[in-house]
């Protein structure tokens, strides 16, 4: 019964959260004025606030969370590790490194598209590297170690760039990118990354049956006809594209891709295939609510979405992990 209501409930909650995000801000708008703005009956100011500021921001938060959620669920199924998340393969760090590189050398002044395209390029570079590793190795542990090494190298390179920042403005831009935010996002920026996120999510969804087979173990899954190498390549490629698109849109945001699958998994009888879409919806809902909190917190400077997501997600993850250990033993 719960599983049957899960998807409709998450979809309804996500739509409601996005609508609430359009109501709230520095100047709250009543529901009737927001509805009028949606259907073209409001004044120019209300339409501008809703269509140019609040709605793109809410959709960007939801899309970012959805990409991280579906990637986290797929990677946890592939690696059979509840701690796996999009950052474990180094894709997020590599995307952030390329974006930071473009900020360091001032390439973003050439075009507003340089920053997101740099992040997507970094994600694709890491994805190709991990995909090649998946072809050459039979060990999931080796794949994780390569991802950890790539993530560590990218993190060290980003730290070096920040240490050598030519001026405080470049340093501020780099730090803001690494903290994660969907402030001032537009539909044009959303449209740029949507093809990558949709392609990555589509690959993960199409290869979902292999994730279910892997719950039996690699040998048993291979025995029932699963091509382990192809499954690894498809999962890594799909997660890399979706994660790269999310980093290009919002910067580095943690914990959404690891907490959402943990919450969803018991509700779908621990089937990785059935957890993909609910995990995407829950992670998207989580980031929309977190971004609403970002705007409503009474701080002199607006907190970054990645900071708030970690402040909420880290304790939630600890609680889930402790509860899981208690239930298991």
Rounded Cα–Cα distance for residues 1 and 126 (Å): 41
Domain boundary assignment for the chain:
2-328
Per-chain mean pLDDT for the chain: 87
Asked if pLDDT for residue 326 goes beyond 70, the answer is no
Distance (Å, whole) CA 206 – CA 208: 6
Listed residue (194, 217, 224) closest to 60, CA to CA:
194
More confident residue, 15 or 167: 15
Whole-model pTM: value is 0.90
Stretch 160-164: mean pLDDT = 88
> Which CATH number applies to 2-328: 1.10.3470.10, 1.10.3720.10, 3.40.50.2300, 3.40.50.9100?
1.10.3470.10
Please report which confidence band the pLDDT of residue 274 belongs to, taking 50, 70 and 90 as the band edges. very high
286-314 pLDDT, tens per residue?
A: 999 999 999 888 877 888 998 888 888 78
Most trustworthy range by pLDDT among 45-49, 70-74, 83-87, 146-150 = 70-74
- pLDDT (tens digit per residue) in 220-258: 888 888 888 899 889 988 988 898 889 889 988 988 888
Cβ atoms of 211 and 279 closer than 8 Å? no
**Pair 178, 95: CB distance under 8 Å:** no
Q: Given a cut of 90, is residue 164 above it in pLDDT?
A: no
For residue 162, what are its two tokens?
A: 């920040």
DSSP codes joined into one string, 272-305: HHHHHHHHHHHHHHHHHHHHHHHHHS--SSPPPH
Residue 126: C-alpha distances to residues 55, 132, 146, 151, 326 (Å): 31, 10, 10, 9, 37
**C-alpha R_g of the chain:** 20
Q: Give the whole-angstrom CA distance, residue 147 versus residue 62.
A: 26
Scan for tokens 């029932």, then name that residue: 224
What's the pLDDT at 146?
A: 87
For the chain, report the end-to-end CA distance as a whole number of angstroms.
27
pLDDT tens-digit readout, 180-198: 999 989 999 899 899 999 9
């Amino acid at each position: 019964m719960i599983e049957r209501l899960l998807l409709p409930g998450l979809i309804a909650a996500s739509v409601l959260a996005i609508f609430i995000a359009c109501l709230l801000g520095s100047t709250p708008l009543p529901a009737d004025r927001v509805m009028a703005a949606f259907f073209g009956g409001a004044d120019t100011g209300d339409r501008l606030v809703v269509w140019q500021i609040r709605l793109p921001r809410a959709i960007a938060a939801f899309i970012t969370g959805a990409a991280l959620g579906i990637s986290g669920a797929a990677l946890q199924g592939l690696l059979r590790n509840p701690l796996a998340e999009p950052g474990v393969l180094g894709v997020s760090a590599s995307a952030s490194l390329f974006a930071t590189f473009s900020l360091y050398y001032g390439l973003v002044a050439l075009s507003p598209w340089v920053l997101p395209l740099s992040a997507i390029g970094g994600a694709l570079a890491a994805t190709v590297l991990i995909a090649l590793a998946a072809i050459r190795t039979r060990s999931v542990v080796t794949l994780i170690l390569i991802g950890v090494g790539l993530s560590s190298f990218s993190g060290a390179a980003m730290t070096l760039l920040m240490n050598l920042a030519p001026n405080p403005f470049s340093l501020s831009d780099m730090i803001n990118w690494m903290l994660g935010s969907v402030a001032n996002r537009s539909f044009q920026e959303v449209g740029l990354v949507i093809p990558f996120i949709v392609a990555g999510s589509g690959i993960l969804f199409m290869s979902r049956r292999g994730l279910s087979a892997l719950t039996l173990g690699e040998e048993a899954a291979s025995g029932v006809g699963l091509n382990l190498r192809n499954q690894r390549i498809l999962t890594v490629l799909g997660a890399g594209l979706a994660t790269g698109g999310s980093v290009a849109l919002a910067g580095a945001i943690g914990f959404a891709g690891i907490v959402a699958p943990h919450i969803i998994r018991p509700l779908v009888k621990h089937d990785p295939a059935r957890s993909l879409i609910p995990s995407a919806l829950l992670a998207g809902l989580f980031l929309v609510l977190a971004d609403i909190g970002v705007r409503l917190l009474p701080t002199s400077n607006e907190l970054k979405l990645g900071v708030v997501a970690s402040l909420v997600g880290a304790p939630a993850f600890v609680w889930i992990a402790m509860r899981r250990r208690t239930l298991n033993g």
